[in-house]
Structure 1
Amino acid sequence: MRPPAAEGPSSFRSQQRFSDPAQSIPPEWTAPTPPHGIPVVNPDTTGPIAVLEQPYLDLSTVALLGQPKRKPTKGWRRLVYLSSGTLVNLGDGAKAARRDTLTAQVNRPLRGCYRIAVLSLKGGVGKTTITATVGATLASLRGDRVIAVDANPDRGTLSQKVPLETPATVRHLLRDAEGIASYSDVRHYTSQGPSRLEVLASESDPAVSEAYSSEDYRRTLEVLERFYSLVLTDCGTGMLHSAMSAVLKKADLLVIVSSGSVDGARSASATLDWLDAHGHRDLVRTSVAVVNAVRPRSGKVDLKKVDDHFARRCRAVLHVPFDPHLEEGAEISLDRLKTPTRDALLELAAVVATGFPATR
């Protein structure tokens, strides 16, 4: 007996043993993927919706290994850490954490060149010392180049705050400006201290330095801005000398220095008055006032009232305490400063850095 004949192709398809793959794909497979997750199906509806799930876990080192606790650097916490054979790590205290925060602020990214002018109408308030110390603090913590320019027409002493490496002055730099093409060329005219702060000296002859004009200062900045991220200018005590108009026109920040005495505070306030009256109100509003203790505290001046006066006119008011090393008037080493002085300078540098223009 012959077996039954096989069914034709049409009858085989009619059994619907197979379905079209394009019709069997779940709709959530074809839904667009949102930017921070994958599409999920809402159980209350039949179609996919773009509900964002939690993003994928970060695979950074901190996320995978955690933030390691820093070893204590001083005090009883360090003693416990060492005496326990490094098994008990309590980390640094609040003061050390504060220093870390300020240091991070000092290291804010900076694009281009930021120009800081340090000035006061009164001499003897430590204007040059503040220029050198805050410049040294910035240079020691940041990785970019920092330079301080002596624009004092009356035989400035800024170059005495760092070891002298060259007899060259700003006048020599201007004479050879057209041939300066690299940072190594500029270094022939500057002296550098242990903090990495560089200083461009002024002329020692007052008759020559008086000729340092606004045009000369503008040309000096044109050279320095190409190679330095921070340029601090130690101004003279007069507001009307030849270079001062260019200093104020180019400055991004003013640091007004006052002593803790009555005449020092009045002179600093008079400096702000002069700036207000001559069209520099915006610079006054963003300026930083520094009350510098040039001698041990012994007077009866109410410094809280001094602070209140300058706080109403400036962006910030800070104090730098008296320090025997700074009183010497010689080369400055940050390592020889007392801890309160270093902390005050760190806070001043951090306040200066808050004025840096925002960068992406």
Structure 2
Amino acid sequence: MKKTLPLPLWTIAVPILAWIAYFGMSLDLGSLYSFVLAAVLIGSVLAAVHHAEVVAHRVGEPYGTLLLALAITVIEVALIVSLMLTGGPETTALARDTVLAAVMIILTGMIGLCLLVGGARFKEQVFSLQGVSAALVTLTAILVLTLVLPNYTTSKAGPVYTTAQLAFVAVVSLVLYGTFVLVQTVRHRDFFLPPEADGNEDAHAEPPAKNVALWSALLLLVCLGVVVLLAKALAPDIELAVVNAGAPKSLVGVIIAAVVLLPEGLAAYRAAKKNRLQTSLNLAMGSALASIGLTIPAVAIVSMVTGMTVTLGIDMKSTVLLLLSLFTIMLSLATGKTNILQGVVLLVIFAVYLFTIIAP
């Protein structure tokens, strides 16, 4: 007699097939093979979302969302660092572009979609104001220190930090992110717990067994690893399609960031549909904080070890859109309740961000 339901077979088979397809790239099977890679990539994203929800249900909030954010970010950081080490001087702005794209996708695209879907289905959704405020104040400080301030320092020309400045900002980023994680998981964990809400069908569901959760955690890492590797492998094809369409190459970075963030985005979307907005916001804010709070220190270490110059400062257009996004989301999440209007406004800003990349 089974004590627990086994994991769905497809969530185990798809990532295995994806890894086989990834290593099969060395056989040079032609251009149509890219469609196979894209198919298994999408399947791996869906499998990752399933395993993330299993683990999150087992460990509870906010540990589950923190685990998913950290897992994706660590793999993303490893990808950025590997590309920097092999790409040479042409990748000096890679970390900046990737972090900016990830933050804009999360703050305006991911959260906007969650607020729109939740507002359309439930009219109003509630969340813990203290937790979101803690995340936003930390995120705002790290974003300004890493992406805006380099444009205004005078020790070195250009939107770059000196070695000493870069090291200092890297330490500050780690301190801010580490303090946030401490507050989220220990000191004020209750700030990040979802309030009781009608329509939350998962509130009293039986958590999965320990062995099922452990297998899901392992398979989650397997899925996330192959998602990032397949995204990197498909990057040349995506770049070729973007160039053929007459769009700037900077759009490639946005597409890759969106693919990497897809597991978190789908998990946040599904949580919003189940009236669990707090889980959606924990995923989104945690992902944005982990992305910039871990990427900048990692890039700083690479810069100091290799002597490579790292460009961090964003241009004026990006600065305006970033500050507009932060200001808008602070107002949208200032009352502890959301509706469809905030979602529409954030998605419009996201559309403007994408449009100004294509038509700067």
- Kindly indicate whether structure 1 or structure 2 has the higher relative contact order, using CA contacts under 8 Å at least 6 residues apart: 2
Structure with greater strand percent = 1
TM-score, length basis structure 1: 0.25
Structure with greater helix percent = 2
TM-score, length basis structure 2: 0.25
Which entry has the higher C-alpha Rg, 1 or 2?
1
